Amino acid sequence: LRFRYDKLGDVGRVQRQQMVMRALMEQALNPVTLARVPQILSVIQSHIDTNLTVEELVALVGFGVQTNRDDAQMLLVPGEYSKVGQYDASYWLPHRRSIAPLMTQHFDLPQGNRRRRSSGNSTELSIAIQDSTRDRKAVERLVKKLKKAGYSNVYVAEAWTEPLNQTRIVAQTGDDKAAQTIREALDFGEVRVESTGHLNSDITIKLGRDWLQPKDTSD
Per-residue b/e over 9-40, b at no fewer than 16 CB within 10 Å? eebbebbbebeeebeebeebeeeebeeeeeeb
Q: What is the pLDDT of residue 3?
A: 59
Q: What is the pLDDT of residue 180?
A: 96
> Which helix (H) or strand (E) is 128 found in, with range?
strand 127-131
Question: Distance between CA 203 and CA 171 in Å, rounded?
Answer: 5
Residue 67, Cβ neighbours under 10 Å: how many? Answer: 13
Dihedrals φ, ψ of 23, to 5°? -65, -40
Question: Distance between CA 74 and CA 72 in Å, rounded?
Answer: 7
C-alpha of 38 from chain center: 30
CATH fold label, 127-212: Alpha-Beta Plaits (3.30.70)
Question: Distance between CA 165 and CA 132 in Å, rounded?
Answer: 9
What residue spans in the chain does CATH classification 3.30.70.2390 cover? 127-212
Q: What is the pLDDT of residue 108?
A: 84
C-alpha of 20 from chain center: 12
Report mean pLDDT in 10-residue bins for the chain, 219 residues.
64 83 72 71 73 77 71 87 87 89 87 56 87 97 96 97 96 94 96 94 97 69
Please name which of 172, 204, 173 lies closest in space to residue 189, comparing C-alpha atoms: 204
Contacting residues for 170 by C-beta, under 8 A, at least 6 apart: 179, 192, 193, 194, 195, 196, 197, 203, 204, 205, 206
Q: What is the pLDDT of residue 5?
A: 62
Q: What is the pLDDT of residue 66?
A: 73
Q: What is the pLDDT of residue 53?
A: 78
